[in-house]
Chains A and B, each alone.
Chain A
Amino acid sequence: MIDFVGDVVAWFLDPVNWVGSGGIVSRTWEHVQISAFSTVAAAAVALPPAIWMGHRRRGGIVAVAVVNIGRAVPSFAIIALALPISIRLGLGLGFWPTFLALFALALPPMFTNTYTGIAEVDPALVEAARGMGMTETQITTRVEIPVAAPVIVTAIRVSAVQVVATATLAALVAWGGLGRFIIDGFAIQDNVMVFAGGLLVAGLAIATELAFAAFERRFVPTTTGRSAGEELLVDVTVAPQHG
């Protein structure tokens, strides 16, 4: 046991493991890069319709269905499906199947949490804004989005953390990322590398979570009773599943 810990420490101290195309630095960069791309792309696609539907307070059933379907399809299956699909689309191995999978994975929680955040803005507030003569666009941009901001940031955070976690599986479809150390380690039965890879992946996921939390504390005022950072575990799911 002590030996094992020593081996892991030694692995981290060995400069060979840090540099080069298969080193920690470039693997981390690959991991972060693809996670960021997918999250931003998903946000660009998911937020506008979510905000629009939330503003109209229509489509709650859709929102719940989307998140439930998103949860029911295993992320591993999404990655696995993305590979042959990407190949059939002529996009090849590596980046694209990973991107497609992570993008698909990030959409549902982002869409549903944003929808819920906007739709749950106090109707009295919206009515007051309308009564003061705001246009619908102004109501959305000046009232609903600022008030729902903590929830929207949480929506992005939940998705981002999930994306970072799942990007670990990118190694299976010939993309790099930190998952490489674990998958390759399993393949060559190198427990030290597996464990070190686990530490790196866990560290990155927790760092992502903490970065978002810090961002929320610093820049997002709490506007709802729910503190920023609370996931919508309860709210989204107690809604009846069927119309």
Chain B
Amino acid sequence: MIAQAADQPFVRWDWIVDHVDDIWAATWEHIVLTAIAVGVGFVISLALSMLALRHRRAYGPITWVTGILYTIPSLALFAFLVPITGLTTLTAEIGLVSYTLLILIRNIVAGIDGVPASVRESAVGMGYTRRRLFLEIELPLALPVIVAGIRIAAVTTIGLVTITALIGKGGLGFLILRGLNLFYSPVGTTQIVVGTVMSVILAVAVDLSLVGAERAMTPWSRRRSR
């Protein structure tokens, strides 16, 4: 059976046409899993970044812990969680969120550190309170670097979501896993290819929309011809 594989088509278009609904459902699940992970990851990262910015000594431990989370292979992390939280969406999300933290925290802190000291000093000198300084001056100015972090986090998460197929979730990863189990047949390879291509398209689309959103939100960094 394996020897015959070379004669068969790699992609069967008829399978794709027949399974448009399945593919869309998997894509939608993928989007939801990614959005939750990046959204929750961002909220946690923002909180931890604010802590690190206020108490510099906390930055080391925070990056150390999130760095370890980032280094632990995703499958291993799921292996730790499954005995506790089972084969659930919660398990998948805990894992996915952990991977966004290091990237997001680093970029948020680097972005806010990158705000020129003179801008901060004149803002405080003119009577900005700490809260308004953060919201109205530091965050907007750090936006390009923060968005760069969100882009990496989002694209990375889209890739990692596929692995959650191994714990019964997976979005497009589910197609890939099912295809892998049928790797010797065109139906299998077709599903691997569809899962991969859709996932790449999703990543590129999300990345481009984030670039677009950043441009819309930072008119001052656009070069204007006058």
Contact = CB atoms under 8 A, between A and B. Distances in A.
A150 to B, nearest CB: 18
B204 interface: yes
B17 interface: no
Given A77-B192, A81-B193, A198-B80, A233 B107 contact: yes
Given A76-B159, A76-B165, A198-B76, A68 B5 contact: no
From A71, A74, A75, A186, residue with most partner B Cβ within 10 Å:
A74
A237 interface: yes
B71 interface: yes
Nearest to B161: A74
Interface size class of A (residues with CB under 8 A): 35 or more
B72 A88 contact: no
Contacts of A80: 176-177, 179-180, 183, 192, 195-196
A84 B78 CA distance: 26
Contacts of A11: none
A76 B162 contact: yes
The SS class assigned to the A binding surface is helix
A81 B207 CA distance: 23
Interface in B183-215: 183-184, 188-189, 192-193, 195-196, 199-200, 203-204, 207-208, 211
A195 B80 CA distance: 5
A171 B93 CA distance: 23
Nearest to A172: B180
Given A74-B159, A194-B82, A161 B152 contact: no
B28 to A, nearest CB: 17
Given A186-B166, A238-B145, A74 B73 contact: no
Interface string B75-88: 11111101100000
Do most interface residues of chain B lie in helix, strand or loop, or is the interface mixed?
Answer: helix
Given A198-B78, A198-B79, A233-B107, 13 more contacts: A73-B196, A73-B199, A73-B200, A75-B159, A76-B159, A76-B165, A83-B180, A84-B188, A88-B5, A183-B166, A197-B79, A205-B72, A241-B211
Contacts of A233: 103, 106-107, 149, 152
B167 A186 contact: yes
A54 interface: no
B173 A76 contact: yes
Nearest to B2: A87
A29 interface: no
Interface of A: 4, 68-69, 71-77, 80-81, 83-84, 87-88, 161, 164-166, 168-169, 172-173, 179, 182-183, 185-186, 191-192, 194-195, 197-199, 201-202, 205-206, 209, 233-234, 237-238, 241
Nearest to B111: A234
A166 B166 contact: no
5 contacts: A81-B193, A195-B80, A197-B76, A209-B71, A237-B152
B79 A201 contact: yes
A209 B156 CA distance: 19
Contacts of A185: 79
A233 B102 CA distance: 10
Question: Quick one: which of B68, B71, B78, B166 has the most chain A CB within 10 A?
Answer: B71
A237 B77 CA distance: 27
Interface string B146-162: 00110110011011111
B41 interface: no
Contact of A72 (B10, B188, B204): B204
A239 B199 CA distance: 23
B154 to A, nearest CB: 10
A168 B73 contact: yes
Contacts of B163: 74-76, 169
B151 A182 contact: no
Contacts of B73: 164-166, 168, 201-202, 205
A166 B160 CA distance: 11
Given A80-B176, A238-B148, A74 B204 contact: no
B6 interface: yes
Contacts of B144: 238
A69 B1 CA distance: 34
